[in-house]
Amino acid sequence: MTNQCATEGDITMKKNLSASNLVTLVLSLVTFLWLLFHLNEIRTDLPGVLRFDLSDYSDILMAMGYLVMLLFHAAAFIFIFKESRFTNRFGGRKVLMLILGIVSLVAIAMEKVMYDEIAHELSVEYPVPSEVFLLYGCLVVNALFCIVIMLAAYRALAQAPAPAAMPRDERMFTIAQVMGIASGIVGIILTLSVIGRRTPSERFWIYIPFYLLFLMPYALAVLYWLVLKRRERATDWYDEKQVRDVLKGSFTALLLSVPGLFILALVRRPLGFYWFPYYLFLILSLFSVSTLYFFKRE
């Protein structure tokens, strides 16, 4: 009876993994095709792209394309998490995939900035402002991430390997901390950039989508962890060492956040409300770095 239940569980898990891989493959393909379409639209009708009139079908496709691309990134990160958890080795290839995914998210944020800059400079440098080449570069990064995930998802579907259980999900624990470090650093850089440009606090709401975008990798890692642990008691989520590491990481982050926050006192520009997101992302990065350090040290 036990063997039969285990076999049925393996079959169900394989089906779930295959369905997830298929969704990731479809989203990556659709996103890649949309990127090709969007690159062609920028090349042939840049003023029309910047005008963004929802009565035009191409502008509707542009808006829908970015929504699909965000869904693709979410599916891609979850795909990488699953592949990392159910494979025997966590090599440099998966690390590079995670890094490329984070860079691709940063590229999406930069694209919004480039659209605004190009619209502002179009009358000065018509017909092709120099920022257009930066926009092309950001879209190429998105396309490269699509290709990498597309190939990885196709390979996973074709091979359909038997998942290897990872005891206590230590690998996902590590990945969650790495995602926290990446999200924290990018959020700090964004905040310092906003402070450097003397952006008024009243315009903080403009940057909320960027902060949410940069939090996506960490939020997905935590959500995936919670889904894995949903059938366990909260006291069983971590082993004794992980609990100690989290507590040490929390205390270390609290101590280091004081001098980290004091750094803002050296900035001779109005801080306004921006000290708050700076502090939040500082705490996130310090906590993740400290926890990962204590976890890997022993």
| Contact predicate 294/177, CB 8 Å | no
Verify that 208 and 119 share a domain, yes or no. Answer: no
Judgement on whether residues 27 and 132 belong to the same structural domain of the protein: yes
**Cα(197)–Cα(17) distance, integer angstroms:** 45
What's residue 13's pLDDT?
47
Whether residues 150 and 292 fall in one domain: no
pLDDT at residue 193, as a whole number = 86
- Are 173 and 136 in the same domain? no
Taking the C-alpha atoms of residue 145 and residue 105, their distance in angstroms, rounded to an integer, is 10
How is residue 201 annotated by DSSP? G
Summarize pLDDT for 168-217 with one digit per residue, the tens.
Answer: 467 788 888 889 999 999 999 998 888 877 877 778 888 888 899 999 99
Q: Which residues of the chain have pLDDT under 50?
A: 1-13, 165-168
Residues 117, 63 share a domain: yes
Same domain membership, residue 67 and residue 7:
yes
Query: Of the residues 111, 142, 165, which one is the last residue of a structural domain?
Result: 165
Q: Are residue 10 and residue 149 in the same domain, yes or no? A: yes
Predicted local distance difference test score (pLDDT) of residue 298: 62
**pLDDT at residue number 82:** 84
* Residue 195 and residue 82 share a domain: no
User: Are 55 and 153 in the same domain?
Assistant: yes
Residue 186, pLDDT score: 93
Q: Note whether 8 and 78 are same-domain residues.
A: yes
pLDDT at 33: 94
The residue range of the domain holding 243 is 167-298
- What pLDDT score was predicted for residue 96? 87
Q: What is the pLDDT of residue 4?
A: 43
My answer on whether 29 and 72 are in the same domain is yes
